[in-house]
Amino acid sequence: MHQNQGTASNSGAGSEELLSVLMDLRAALDEAVAGRRAAEEELRETLAAMIQHQQVGKCGNFRYNTTTGAIRGTEEVFKIFQFPAGTRGCTVEEWLAKLHEDDRDRIAQRFFEAISKGEDLRFDYRIVFADGSMKHIRCDGEPDLEHEGEVTYFGVLTDITEQRHVEEAQRAMEAELASSLRLASLGELAGSIIHEVNQPLAAISASAEACRRWMKHGTDPNHRALASLDRISEECHRAAAIVNGLKSLIQSNSIEPVAFDFSLAVQEVCSLLMGELTREDVLLVVDMARDLPPALGNRVQIQQIVMNLARNAVEAMRSVARRRVMTITTGMHEGMLSLRVADTGPGVDPADLERLFSPLFTTKAGGMGLGLPISRKIAIAHGGSLNAKSGMKSGAIFNLLLPLGENHGD
């Protein structure tokens, strides 16, 4: 009887222990399920956020299997390319068929060449749709080195159409600003131009009158008349040079870059400035290196830079009482053509040297703050540079570097 009671006690204790274990297991299972649900919810939120970010950023992820040739990607990738809704994969041929015909061969060559060498995929291209509309696409991809088995690439495709439109609008605006600056400079130079042209015209008139007198009354009319005619010819050439220089400055800046005589281009600008330099009591010192090779670029735009630098120097010296001297020096520096414009003005605060090239920043009363920024952009677009520094004792120095013309780069 006592033995049965002991057995029943042991059985009850075992049941309680089993129930406790089961309850612990149930609690652990409930915790695991809750954790999994939380992880799934977090994954769904992350996936939703990623989809939203891709939609806002107009981009999507892709994977390319180099063995099967299959391209897989997120919904946004195939939405950008206007594949049917729900498409999540395509072949390389189907992808290439979407490309602009002018880009297709180039991109196909770069694509397969990068794959064969295991290099990154970095290129921009255009895709065209049935209605004739077009998008600009940027591809950024690289091999998945952590993936085992078949070699695959992963990356991002981005619709950069709006970015391209903004860049085109910015370039058009910069061209318009450059044109406005050139015309504004010409307006201020109108008096100088009139003065410069009037001088040779007056000389021509005087020489023609002298020639008429010698032909009519001179004792040796032929010799003196010929001398007068020679002076007329010289002054005509001078007037033509001034007019041609002015014409080149107001031409459109859409001319294709070509090799041109750098020294002659600088000399033409100096000729246009002579009237203003005289009125402003500025001594021009020109040190032109001999036998310089031609420059490569847009002659009109380079003359615009020289004109702007020279006029800035003149304006900077208006406030000084000491001798006003502007020095223009040309030469070679580190395999490039160089132009140096120095003045004896008050100089520039070292803290402002780089700010001079920021749009709308100016140290001149009534200045627009556009000349130097546009000039630097032109220099950089030509593969050169434009920088400023303070003079040794006074004034400022601007240094322009430009690439050489073809067949002169070695």
CATH of the domain at 95: 3.30.450.20
Out of 159, 191, 210, a domain closes at 159
pTM, entire model: 0.43
Residues 316 and 205 in one domain: yes
The contacts of residue 116 (CB under 8 Å, 6+ apart) are none
The angle subtended at Cα 163 by Cα 158 and Cα 164, nearest 5°, is: 105
Query: In terms of domains, do 252 and 275 share one?
Result: yes
Cβ atoms of residues 165 and 65 within 8 Å: no
Query: What six digits make up the tokens of 226?
Result: 């010929």
> Is 217 part of a structural domain of the chain?
yes
Does some domain include residue 4? no
- pLDDT value for 410: 46
Q: Does residue 337 belong to any structural domain of this protein?
A: yes
Residues of the chain with pLDDT below 50 are 1, 252-255, 409-410
Domain boundary among 159, 178, 202: 159
Q: What are the residues whose beta carbons fall under 8 Å from the beta carbon of 383, sequence distance 6 or more?
A: 296, 402, 403
Widest CA span in the chain: 171
Domain boundary among 120, 140, 159: 159
Residue 258 lies in a domain: yes
Question: Structural domain tally of the chain?
Answer: 2
Kindly state the tokens that stand for 93.
């041929």
User: Is 241 in the same domain as 351?
Assistant: yes
For 141-150, which contacts have Cβ atoms below 8 Å and span 24 or more sequence positions? 141/62, 141/64, 143/118, 144/63, 150/65, 150/66, 150/67, 150/68
Q: What is the pLDDT of residues 259-310, one digit of tens each?
A: 889 999 898 888 878 877 887 888 999 998 888 899 888 888 888 889 889 9
- Looking at the fold, whether 263 and 381 belong to one and the same domain comes out as yes
Dihedral angle at the C-alpha atoms of 233, 238, 240, 244, nearest 10 degrees? 160
**In the prediction, which pLDDT does 329 show?**
93
CATH of the domain at 384: 3.30.565.10
Domain that holds residue 84: 54-159
- In this structure, is residue 9 part of a structural domain? no
Give the H/E segment covering residue 328. strand 325-333
pLDDT of 190: 56
The tens digit of pLDDT for each residue in 62-101 reads: 999 998 899 998 888 899 999 998 898 999 999 999 999 9
In a domain, 342, yes or no: yes
Give the per-residue pLDDT at 357.
Answer: 72
Distance set, CA 197 to CA 150, 192, 205 (Å): 77, 9, 13
Distance CA 348, CA 319 (A): 13
Cα–Cα distance measured from residue 355 to residue 369, given in angstroms and rounded to the nearest whole number: 10
